[in-house]
């Protein structure tokens, strides 16, 4: 059995907070069990284990492998049931599904009118909270009851026509939502597979792809767009502009998505993860478009949202929110040249990581390590930067995106160069050159930096000023291209060269 499946019960128990554990035990004993019940004993055993260990747990329980497997399955089901009782008042879709379950029970008992009244109440909530799929499911159940049984609702004028029209409209709407969700996924997948447009030919190909995946149906053009349709359309447009390196239009699309939440404030509570993502995307595109004012504004809004005690976020939302908040803070500190705040943020995150209170996946942690390395580099703490970069480079293969790996390896070389480790620089430049040749994520500024570093290794220290001047000219010559500008946002090589030029103040860093 795969380890991820084998230990899912232990992971679920460890993810419970104190209130959820207490609620489970109350639920278990309320259901007629006692504290001595086997599955409660197993819960206590697994809860005390620092790491998953089925052999040790089975030994403590004194069970055969078959008995232990069955008890684990039963405990897992009981835990999910108790959690459902907690979340039913927090998640509207869980509440609506419960109402549908009640309706089916009423229908099975022959209480057709009571079932229809329950469905009407559920339908009103589904409309209010933009639950399109559940709205359609409710309508289909209403149609089933009306079609099979003579009810008092038949006495209402045009009742069936209204129901059929509402069902048809909702069916079209759900199909529209699905198609626009597909559009969002397709254009995002296009970026993952092919990256940015690097030439006019690639830009034309991506424009044609964008046109081909649009879906327009005349018979549905009159249907009012729902919240989810609009936000998928805006996010798809955002990804398209990002592929085309049009950061200004990408910023506009991300702002449009954010505005939807301002127009439908109930959706902030319903889908906080999507709201957090929208805020973060505005920060990212503002950073890429050199809009320090918007970076500051929306980083503040992200922080305020996460600090709002009136909004109850589950563990997943809190974790996602913290990742977005810390990345947004780094962008704010870099675009405003606040190196001290960036370094303080790095120290706090690394302490939390060591204490296991903040443990993102490897790629996310690699990104945080890179941001910490940039902060140390800007502070001229090259040894500290190397500590972070070594952790990135030593991560398992396939964990990191290539653009992050390229920047990390190049920054690693720059730190060694600044420390005078010239033999290491020469060695690492060979591996870096090989990576740049095979990667689509390599930029011209990366290749210029490698060539310049080789020249600097051969040049006497008294004559390096001319090399730095030529490097500065070469970087500046390509900096207007959007792809090169993006590369310089995440590793400001122009700033590095100008530090070494006489009487030249450092430019804004990223």
In this prediction, residue 293 has a pLDDT band, given cuts at 50, 70 and 90, of: very high
137 and 78 belong to one structural domain: no
Residue 170: C-alpha distances to residues 136, 144, 164, 182, 260 (Å): 6, 16, 10, 18, 21
**Within-domain flag for 201:** no
Q: Which residue has the higher pLDDT, 182 or 411?
A: 411
51 and 120 belong to one structural domain: no
8 and 73 belong to one structural domain: yes
Average pLDDT of the chain is 87
69 and 46 belong to one structural domain: yes
Tell me which of 87, 112, 128 is where a domain ends: 87
**Within-domain flag for 125:** yes
* Whole-prediction pTM: 0.79
For the segment 432-488, what is each residue's pLDDT rounded down to a tens digit? 999 999 999 999 999 999 999 999 999 998 899 999 999 999 999 999 999 999 999
pLDDT on residue 324:
97
Length of the chain: 510
20 and 81 belong to one structural domain: yes
36 and 112 belong to one structural domain: no
Please tell me the total count of domains within the chain: 2
Q: H-type helices in 129-271, by residue range? A: 132-148, 159-194, 200-212, 227-243, 247-263, 266-270
**Within-domain flag for 64:** yes
**Within-domain flag for 48:** yes
Cα four-point dihedral sign 283, 394, 387, 457: negative
99 and 131 belong to one structural domain: yes
Count the neighbouring beta carbons within 10 Å of the beta carbon of residue 251: 23
Q: Quick check: helix, strand or coil at residue 150?
A: coil
Q: How confident is the model over 327-348, as a mean pLDDT?
A: 97
Cα four-point dihedral sign 259, 260, 265, 269: negative
Tell me which of 58, 87, 116 is where a domain ends: 87
104 and 133 belong to one structural domain: yes
pLDDT on residue 309:
84
Angle between helices 272-288 and 227-243 in degrees, nearest 10:
30
In this prediction, residue 29 has a pLDDT band, given cuts at 50, 70 and 90, of: confident
**Within-domain flag for 135:** yes
For the segment 172-225, what is each residue's pLDDT rounded down to a tens digit? 777 787 888 888 889 999 998 899 999 999 999 999 999 988 865 444 454 567
Q: What percent of the chain is predicted at pLDDT more than 90?
A: 51
Host domain of residue 41: 3-87
80 and 30 belong to one structural domain: yes
pLDDT on residue 5:
59
Count the neighbouring beta carbons within 10 Å of the beta carbon of residue 500: 16
62 and 102 belong to one structural domain: no
Q: Are the C-beta atoms of residues 248 and 294 closer than 8 Å to each other?
A: no
**Within-domain flag for 480:** no
74 and 20 belong to one structural domain: yes
In this prediction, residue 1 has a pLDDT band, given cuts at 50, 70 and 90, of: very low
**Within-domain flag for 250:** no
**Within-domain flag for 151:** yes
79 and 11 belong to one structural domain: yes
Tell me which of 87, 112, 142 is where a domain ends: 87
């Amino acid at each position: 059995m795969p380890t991820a499946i084998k230990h899912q019960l232990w992971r679920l128990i460890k993810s419970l907070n104190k209130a959820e554990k207490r609620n489970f035990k109350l639920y278990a004993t309320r259901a007629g069990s006692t504290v001595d019940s086997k599955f409660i004993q197993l819960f206590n055993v697994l809860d005390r284990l620092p790491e998953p260990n089925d052999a040790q747990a089975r030994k403590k329980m004194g069970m055969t492998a078959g008995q232990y497997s069955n008890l684990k399955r039963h405990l897992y089901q009981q835990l999910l049931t108790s959690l459902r009782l907690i979340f039913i008042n927090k998640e509207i879709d869980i509440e609506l599904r419960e109402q549908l379950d009640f309706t089916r029970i009423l229908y099975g008992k022959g209480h057709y009118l009571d079932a229809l009244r329950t469905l009407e109440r559920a339908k009103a909530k589904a409309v209010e909270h933009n639950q399109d799929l559940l709205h359609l499911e409710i309508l289909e159940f209403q149609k089933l009851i009306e079609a099979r049984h003579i009810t008092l609702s038949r006495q209402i004028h045009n009742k069936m026509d209204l129901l059929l029209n509402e069902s048809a409209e909702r069916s079209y709407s759900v199909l529209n939502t699905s198609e626009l969700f597909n559009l969002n996924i397709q254009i995002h997948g296009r970026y993952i597979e092919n990256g940015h447009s690097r030439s006019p030919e690639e830009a034309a190909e991506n424009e044609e792809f964008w046109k081909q995946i649009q879906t327009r149906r005349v018979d549905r053009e009159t249907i009012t767009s729902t919240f989810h349709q609009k936000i998928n359309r805006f996010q798809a447009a955002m990804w398209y502009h990002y592929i085309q390196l049009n950061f200004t239009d990408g910023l506009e699309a991300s702002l449009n998505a954010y505005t939807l939440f301002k127009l439908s404030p109930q959706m902030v509570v319903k889908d906080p993860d999507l709201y957090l993502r929208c805020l973060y995307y505005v920060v990212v595109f503002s950073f890429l478009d050199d809009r320090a004012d918007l970076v500051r504004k929306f980083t503040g809004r992200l922080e305020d949202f996460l600090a709002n005690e009136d909004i109850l976020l589950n563990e997943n939302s809190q974790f996602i929110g913290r990742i977005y908040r810390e990345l947004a803070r780094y962008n704010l500190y870099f675009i405003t040249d606040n190196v001290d705040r960036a370094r303080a943020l790095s120290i706090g995150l690394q302490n939390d990581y060591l204490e296991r209170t903040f443990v993102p996946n490897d790629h996310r942690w690699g990104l945080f390590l890179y941001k910490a390395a940039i902060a140390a580099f800007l502070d001229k703490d090259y040894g500290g930067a190397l500590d972070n970069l070594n952790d990135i480079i030593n991560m398992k293969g396939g964990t990191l995106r290539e653009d992050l790996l390229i920047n990390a390896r190049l920054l690693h070389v720059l730190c060694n160069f600044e420390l005078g480790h010239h033999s290491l620089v020469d060695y690492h430049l060979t591996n870096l050159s090989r990576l740049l040749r095979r990667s689509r994520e390599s930029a011209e500024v990366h290749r210029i930096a490698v060539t310049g570093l080789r020249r600097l290794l051969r040049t006497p220290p008294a004559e390096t000023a001319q090399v730095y001047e030529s490097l500065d000219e070469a970087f500046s010559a390509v900096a207007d291209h959007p792809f090169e500008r993006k590369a310089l946002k995440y590793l400001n090589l122009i700033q590095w060269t100008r530090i070494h030029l006489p009487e030249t103040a450092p430019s804004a860093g990223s």
